[in-house]
Structure 1
Amino acid sequence: MSPAEPSDLRRSLRSITLDGAVFSVMVGCGETYLAPFVLAIGMGQVEAGLLSSLPPLAGAVLQLVSPAGVRRLGSHRRWVVLCAATQATSFVPLVVAALAGAIPTFAAFLVASVYWGAGMSTGPAWNTWVSTLVPAPIRARYFARRTRVSQVGTVLGLLMGGALLASGRSGGFEMQAYAVLFLVAGLCRYLSTYFLWSQSEPVPLPAQFRRVPAGELLANLRRSHEGKLLGYMLAIQIAVQISAPYFAPYWVEQLHLSYVQYTTLVAVSFGTKILVMPALGGVARRFGARGLLWFGGIGVIPLAALWIASSAMPWMIFVQMLAGIMWGAWELATFLLVFEAIREEERTSILTTFNLANAIAMVAGSLLGGAILHSFGEARLGYFVIFGLSSCARLATLPLLRRVPEVRLVARPIATRTVAVRPGDAISDDRPVLPSISDEVEPPLDPVAGRGLGPPRR
């Protein structure tokens, strides 16, 4: 790759950061409030829950065709910009629906599928593209800073959305507030699209990428260390999704939380997760990624069942803080283990395929939880059953956790993009920025925080 001109590089780096910032505002104020919106216009509780688990399957499927789309357009940049613009446009029917005060159920699922399909289709191509833009010597620190900017953007979007909806409800213009919220989210994604387009593309179709054929991938996973890890991760996903999609309906329809309370609970868990990541990086260095995974893997087991104990606000805040810590530990540990176990040139291919399996696991768990909730007539007892069942299912994954091997941990930063923020104990859907985890990185950094860790302990 020929080096970029310094001015072009500075412009591209600035645009990558600004894209992350406005994209994150969209996440915070857009899809996060889709479930409360459809509940406000009369959609059923099971359907509202499934709206957060079924559409991502469309995104996972479309990820598989993104390499063909890139080849067809002859450019990663063009493909990413096209998908980003499509995702931004998916907010238009939501604005119309909010102003009309109604949207058919099938239309809501279609819009959400377009949102997720277009959004997730950018992932593999964007990761490959930015790896040609950001020089390897600065990737670690650059993406660590970008992650922090993006996290601030997500929190700002969350708080702005909650404040606007609270004002709308008290002032009698709740649906208009949703329309403004979705309009802002769409405009943020259009602005993100502009920043994507303003970046250069030194190598339209980089050659150093290996696609792992499906047969080879399955054969390797059956007998490999990474196969044991990914199998455990899929099992946890099924267990979590029995209850996770239904926290928004539970909060809104059963607990009748205000928008301020709803936003507070979501922000507390997400904020706690951000704040504890530097400390969790230190735990990983001292006790190993597998030790951190055991801490998180055991810690997430009771989280769903804890919602049965009380609906008092102080208790719910405590549970959300605990969830932020435990899911932060689990997420960081799995990221570290995955990226030590899978070769760099195969990561994009393997993780794209894993995303599809992960989406199928989400659908399986959520359909089971939805069927149980429906059988109880969407009553509070039904929620307690799926909360308890989810914790029991998580407990049943411990034998799979025991099979996950330890790997030699090389301290490195892991930058992430938050693509969704969830109510309840699932917290957020974070995806790794693959170029930030290049096997050739700067001196060791604290994962996520980007702080020096010092020499490894023996």
Structure 2
Amino acid sequence: MEPIEEEGTLTRGERNRSMKYSTADGMAYSLMTGLGDAYIPAAAISLGATNFYIGLLAALPQLFGAFLQFFSLSILRFFKDRKLIVVAGAFVQAVCWLCVAAVMLWPGPLSIELIAVFFTLGTGCSLLINPAWSSWISDIVPENERAGFFAGRNRLMQLMLFAATFTAGIVLNQLQLAYPAAVAFGIIFVVAATARFASTFFLTQMSNIKYEIQLMREIQLKHLFMLPAHRHELWFLAFVALLTFSVQFASPFFTPYMLNELHFTLEALGIVTATSVLAKILSYPYWGKIIDRFGNRTVLIAAAFLSPLGSVLWLFSKDLPMLLLFNIVSGFIWSGYEIAVFNYALSMVGRELRPSFISKYNIFVNVFYAAGAIAGGLFLMGFGNAMLFGFSGFLLVFLISGIMRIVVALAFTPKLTSGREVLNTSQERAMVFDLVAVYPTQGAVSHVLTGWNFTRKAVSSTTERGGRIMKEGLGATGELLVEGGRKLMSKVSRRKHL
């Protein structure tokens, strides 16, 4: 490993070189995700996995990742080298993808279980290195360039993810004409492993920067539950966690529903999956403008109330064109949610809590992600034949997921505090109505017509406050613990809810 540099000693050329390789790393990572993660459930189904196993396949990596978060700060303190941690984690994930490919190419009686083990280990390592990567990259990219850099990097990653997911479905469909399904998946996963090895190489080419351990402060989980000053942060974490649970109750089972019940080809599955990614890309500029106008909290609330459509719409049609339309709607909604929750989190944080918060936030989200997927699998296993409102099996799971999402939105969004004083609650209610009932249609049509105009505004467009915080770097992503005086200020707006 190269010598560790002080942050201020990097030359302009070294920073530019590191930023270039970071973008290449992101694109290679998206290629791995589009070829690998997107098709793991389909691969397991080809080996005969049950619905419960599909739920476990979605749950175990997140649960393992949440467990590893307890050690992320200790690992950082021990090695004192963020680059070493990130490169090692990426390399282990690449090796795990090779192992998954080997299992598919030479299947045996324990193939499904081995896929779950290797996929869980690889994804867990990827989640483990997130805090170190976020802190490292924020020290490499100059403060006044971060918004533009991450907007461009995110744009290229989304394009690569769309292209990889779309192309993989077509390639898999053609490979199955000549080879068994398991072999076809094995070939695709070899390419996914190669992409992660390439990502690892790009990471090794980035400059190393000394990490000041003494600046790191840690927030214990017990502080979130025991200290009244953290009440607003806890409400936010509970909202995100329970909404994640509600979504994951259904999310892992769209793939088996399309393959087993609708009998879609892998090509059709790839098209449906990629459509959601494309919808996100085209929707980012719209949501950025809306956040500029109405603020992060309003958009977050609107997205939460729109989120049930992501599963409930699937109850009304089994035709591919309609399912593509449903996924466009879903991608539109989740793009708004992702930008809003990102900026909302940023508005509550301080830099010194960065690594600690990211690990705690990941624990909350990953545990409830896993719990939702397992709960959905157990429901299908125990109540697959139950009937409610004429729906059963997968469709009943989709319905229950939608109901849970609206319940979470109703129960928790009034608890979300705003970073600014809300002087007219009725006006803000009108904003939410316009955002849900009027602007989505106009915005979606406008950006489909204008095509690929989703440059810097896609990510960097935020509220004036959010934009200022965003320039402080992606490394601040997810920090959600308000300190000192800001906690006192939140009490002022506590009664100003929708």
Q: Residue 46 of structure 1 aligns with which residue? A: 52
Deviation at 1:221, TM superposition (A): 7.0
Distance 1:332 1:10, change over 3 A: closer
Deviation at 1:266, TM superposition (A): 0.7
Task: Give the counterpart letter for 1:400 in structure 2.
Answer: F
Q: Residue 120 of structure 2 aligns with which residue? A: 113
Task: Give the counterpart letter for 2:475 in structure 1.
Answer: L
Deviation at 1:311, TM superposition (A): 0.5
Q: Residue 447 of structure 1 aligns with which residue? A: none
5 Å-filtered alignment, 1:53-202, equals 53-102=59-108, 103-202=110-209
Q: Residue 296 of structure 2 aligns with which residue? A: 289
Question: 1:342 aligns to what SS in structure 2?
Answer: coil
Query: What's the CA shift string for 1:344-396, capped at 9, x where partnerless?
Result: 32243123112112122122222221122112458982112211111111121
Deviation at 1:435, TM superposition (A): 5.1
Distance 1:358 1:263, change over 3 A: same
Distance 1:130 1:219, change over 3 A: same
5 Å-filtered alignment, 1:229-240, equals 229-240=236-247
Distance 1:68 1:186, change over 3 A: same
Distance 2:166 2:375 in 1: 32
Task: Give the counterpart letter for 1:87 in structure 2.
Answer: Q
Deviation at 1:139, TM superposition (A): 1.3
Q: Residue 416 of structure 2 aligns with which residue? A: 404
Deviation at 1:222, TM superposition (A): 7.0
Contact 1:50 1:245 in 2 (8 A): no
Query: What's the CA shift string for 1:404-453, capped at 9, x where partnerless?
Result: 122234142898xxxxxxxxxxxxxxxx9425799xxxxxxxxxxxxxxx
Q: Residue 395 of structure 1 aligns with which residue? A: 406
Distance 1:437 1:307 in 2: 31
Distance 1:378 1:267 in 2: 31
Q: Residue 330 of structure 1 aligns with which residue? A: 337
Higher mean alpha-carbon deviation, 403-412 vs 131-140, is at 403-412
Please state if 1:215 is matched with 2:222: yes
Deviation at 1:224, TM superposition (A): 3.1
Deviation at 1:34, TM superposition (A): 0.6
Contact 2:161 2:277 in 1 (8 A): no
Q: Report the count of equivalent residues.
A: 423
Q: Residue 363 of structure 1 aligns with which residue? A: 370
1:310 equivalent among 294, 297, 317: 317
Deviation at 1:259, TM superposition (A): 1.2
Distance 1:222 1:247 in 2: 40
Query: What's the CA shift string for 1:56-93, capped at 9, x where partnerless?
Result: 11112212212222333331111111111000000122
Task: Give the counterpart letter for 2:402 in structure 1.
Answer: S
Q: Residue 248 of structure 2 aligns with which residue? A: 241
Question: 1:341 aligns to what SS in structure 2?
Answer: coil
Distance 1:391 1:292, change over 3 A: same
Distance 1:55 1:414, change over 3 A: farther
Question: 2:364 aligns to what SS in structure 1?
Answer: helix
Query: What's the CA shift string for 1:121-141, capped at 9, x where partnerless?
Result: 110011111122111121111
Contact 2:41 2:57 in 1 (8 A): yes
Task: Give the counterpart letter for 2:159 in structure 1.
Answer: V
Distance 2:35 2:468 in 1: 27
Deviation at 1:173, TM superposition (A): 4.3
Question: 2:207 aligns to what SS in structure 1?
Answer: coil
Q: Residue 359 of structure 2 aligns with which residue? A: 352
Contact 2:103 2:114 in 1 (8 A): no
Distance 1:367 1:20 in 2: 30
Contact 1:140 1:413 in 2 (8 A): no
Distance 2:204 2:357 in 1: 28
Question: 2:128 aligns to what SS in structure 1?
Answer: helix
Please state if 1:385 is matched with 2:396: yes
Deviation at 1:342, TM superposition (A): 2.5
Over the matched positions of the two proteins, sequence identity in percent amounts to 26
Deviation at 1:317, TM superposition (A): 1.0
Query: What's the CA shift string for 1:189-220, capped at 9, x where partnerless?
Result: 11111111111113144543321133323334
Query: What's the CA shift string for 1:25-70, capped at 9, x where partnerless?
Result: 1111111111100101111122123201222111122122122223
Distance 1:315 1:375 in 2: 30
Task: Give the counterpart letter for 1:384 in structure 2.
Answer: L
Extract unaligned runs of 5+ from structure 2: 1-6, 421-462, 480-498
Query: What's the CA shift string for 1:277-325, capped at 9, x where partnerless?
Result: 1110111111121221222111112321221111111211111011011
Contact 2:345 2:477 in 1 (8 A): no
Distance 1:343 1:205 in 2: 16
How large is the RMSD of aligned CA atoms in angstroms?
2.3
Contact 2:262 2:318 in 1 (8 A): yes
Please state if 1:27 is matched with 2:38: no
Q: Residue 450 of structure 2 aligns with which residue? A: none
Q: Under a length normalisation based on structure 2, what TM-score does the superposition of the two structures give? A: 0.80
Deviation at 1:254, TM superposition (A): 1.2
Distance 1:117 1:297 in 2: 27
1:434 equivalent among 475, 480, 497: 475
Task: Give the counterpart letter for 1:296 in structure 2.
Answer: A
Q: Residue 12 of structure 2 aligns with which residue? A: 6
Distance 1:165 1:221 in 2: 53
Q: Under a length normalisation based on structure 1, what TM-score does the superposition of the two structures give? A: 0.87
Distance 2:251 2:105 in 1: 29
Distance 1:354 1:238 in 2: 14
Contact 1:165 1:177 in 2 (8 A): yes
Contact 2:250 2:376 in 1 (8 A): yes
Over alpha carbons, which structure has the higher Rg? 2
Which structure features the higher share of helix residues? 2
Distance 2:260 2:474 in 1: 36
Q: Residue 275 of structure 2 aligns with which residue? A: 268
